[in-house]
Amino acid sequence: MITFEGVTKRYPDGTVAVDELSLELPTGQTTVFVGPSGSGKTTSLRMINRMVEPTSGRIAIDGQDVRDRDPAVLRRSIGYVIQQAGLFPHRTVLDNIATVPLLLGWTRRRARDRARELMEVVGLAPEQAKRYPHQLSGGQQQRVGVARALAADPPVLLMDEPFSAVDPVVRTGLQDELLRLQQELRKTIVFVTHDIDEAVRIGDAVAVFRAGGTLAQFSTPERLLAEPADEFVEEFVGYDRGVRRLSFFPASDLALRGDTVLAAETPSSEASAIARAQGEPWLLAVDAAHRPIGWARALDLDRAAPGSTLGDLATVGYGHVFRVGTDSLRAALDAAVLSPAGRAVGVDEDGKVVGVVAQAELGDALWAVGTDETPPAGAVRP
């Protein structure tokens, strides 16, 4: 656990970067510092490994004041990743990753073996070991940065906007990778960003900083979106927070209907009768493997030529589907909104249709979420 107790940092020029910060960052969890530019996130982060010394207050890791430890020794036990990766241009990828083990006095051979191991962990191809940093893409450099930070297996990892210099697609990939790594490694991660979406996605807890270096709110991402502490936080998280918060609720809670999902071979007349009996304007045609083909309009079924089947009339695309087991309510809502039929198709892991849900029915579920105080256990990640 990392504790900030009444920590203030005043720079020599008088700037108060951090003002009376008190915070507890739980072991094995990812805490995100988010906030506008200049709100003291980097300063707070750097006080943990003593790259910046607080003016007053105390920072402790597992109860031990960081000021009781030699700065260089302390830093070797804390991984650090920064925006431009900060890789050493004169060292190969392998030797960059081996940096901290070598500082700790490991043999070159052992340090390199460890570095090779980490290249695999962060998803770098072995051929890249002998390259120099400038020969890598931004995303690859960032991976090397993460590998270097992890090389000596430090319990604490500090990350200062590690993914903000890469394009959105690569960034999402790196975030996924970090989440996967963290599943296994359970490090105490402090992650700085000014992107609220990234904060909500990566963090187990989010600390929102405001200008002047004070804490505006400290809570779980879901609570942050549900109950912003004040106008500042509300504006900072964005007014679409309602929709974004749906990311925290699993789609598996939705009541899907299967009675409007019919085999493509069903004769039009029979399908038409079912639609009328259900009072449904749209039917979903599925193939023999129960995979979706398309939507058929009930009105068209009434007028269909005798002998035609549902499949002949299922001409409206089903859009994108959501996975019932793993996706969130947000994905289901998105699928429904984008569907020409106004209905979302839920599938299982094999792509077989589980059922469909109309926008109107989704509305009920969303409303229930809005009034729910706690997210359900096993809430899904966005």
Site residues (vs another protein, CB under 8 A): 49, 51, 71-76, 78, 80, 82-91, 99-100, 103, 132, 134-135, 148, 158
Segment 115-174, which members bind ligand ATP (CB under 6 A)? none
If one counts every other C-beta atom within 10 angstroms of the C-beta of residue 374, the result is 10
Nearer to another protein, 57 or 86 (CB): 86
If one counts every other C-beta atom within 10 angstroms of the C-beta of residue 201, the result is 20
Closest residue by beta carbon to Mg ion:
42
Nearer to Mg ion, 42 or 217 (CB): 42
C-alpha to C-alpha distance for 271 and 210, rounded to whole angstroms: 59
Segment 77-106, which members bind ligand ATP (CB under 6 A)? none
Nearer to another protein, 11 or 88 (CB): 88
Does the footprint of ligand ATP cover residue 241 (CB under 6 A)?
no
What is the total count of residues that contact ligand ATP (CB under 6 A)? 13
Nearer to another protein, 79 or 375 (CB): 79
Does the footprint of Mg ion cover residue 42 (CB under 5 A)?
yes
Segment 12-51, which members bind ligand ATP (CB under 6 A)? 13, 15, 17, 35, 37-43
C-alpha to C-alpha distance for 249 and 201, rounded to whole angstroms: 13
Nearer to Mg ion, 191 or 295 (CB): 191
C-alpha to C-alpha distance for 73 and 64, rounded to whole angstroms: 14
Residue 240 near residue 200, CB atoms below 8 Å: no
> Which residues lie below 8 Å from residue 9, measured CB to CB, with a gap of 6+?
16, 17, 18, 40, 43, 44, 47, 52, 54, 55, 213
Residue 40 interacts with, from another protein, ligand ATP, Mg ion, none (CB under 5-8 Å by kind): ligand ATP
Residue 250 near residue 380, CB atoms below 8 Å: yes
C-alpha to C-alpha distance for 210 and 232, rounded to whole angstroms: 8
Nearer to ligand ATP, 3 or 8 (CB): 8
- C-alpha R_g of the chain: 26
Sites of contact with Mg ion (CB under 5 A): 42
Q: Which residues bind ligand ATP (CB under 6 A)?
A: 11, 13, 15, 17, 35, 37-43, 194
